[in-house]
């Protein structure tokens, strides 16, 4: 998987990262609130092996992630460990923690 240089590039190329076989039976909405330069808010919907992205947020998502845009790029590129980011409060997660953990199977970081 290729590395990205911005949050916009990540969401524009999400189809390249998505593993539909790992998302069978998953129906969830993920909102990413990314602060700072290059940030913004995006909604990712996973519906039974398919993924879509749209700008902006939605009410009552399954999971909401809050992190700086710079750290999100590092996370997406595998340069920042998600668990470590969560424990050091660089990443805030609300909603379904089990679904947030499962997301790494169908939207893994670059290696």
Question: What is the model's pLDDT at position 110?
Answer: 83
Asked, for residue 61, whether it belongs to a domain, the answer is yes
Q: Quote the pLDDT of residue 109.
A: 87
Range of the domain at 54: 7-96
Instruction: Supply the CATH number for residue 44's domain.
Output: 3.30.1050.10
Report yes or no: 29 and 58 within 8 Å, Cβ to Cβ.
yes
pTM over 0.75, yes/no: yes
Q: How many domains does the chain have?
A: 1
pLDDT average per 10 residues of sequence, the chain (111 residues): 91 94 96 97 97 97 98 95 94 96 90 71
Would 105 be classed as within a structural domain? no
Classify residue 1: in a domain, yes or no: no
Task: Concatenate the DSSP letters of all residues of 40-107 into one string.
Answer: EEEEEEEETTEEEEEES--SS-SEEEEEEHHHHHHHHTTSS-HHHHHHTTSSEEEE-HHHHHHHHHHS
């Amino acid at each position: 998987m290729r590395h990205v240089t911005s949050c916009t590039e990540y969401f524009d190329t999400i189809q390249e990262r998505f593993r539909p076989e790992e998302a069978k039976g998953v129906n969830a909405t993920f909102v990413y609130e990314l602060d700072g330069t290059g940030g913004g808010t995006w909604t990712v919907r996973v519906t039974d092996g398919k993924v879509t992205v749209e700008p902006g947020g939605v009410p009552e998502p399954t999971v909401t992630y809050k992190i700086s845009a710079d750290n999100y790029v590092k996370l997406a590129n595998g340069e920042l460990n998600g668990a470590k980011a969560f424990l050091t409060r660089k990443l805030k997660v609300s909603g379904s923690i089990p679904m947030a953990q499962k997301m790494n199977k169908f939207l893994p970081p670059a290696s």
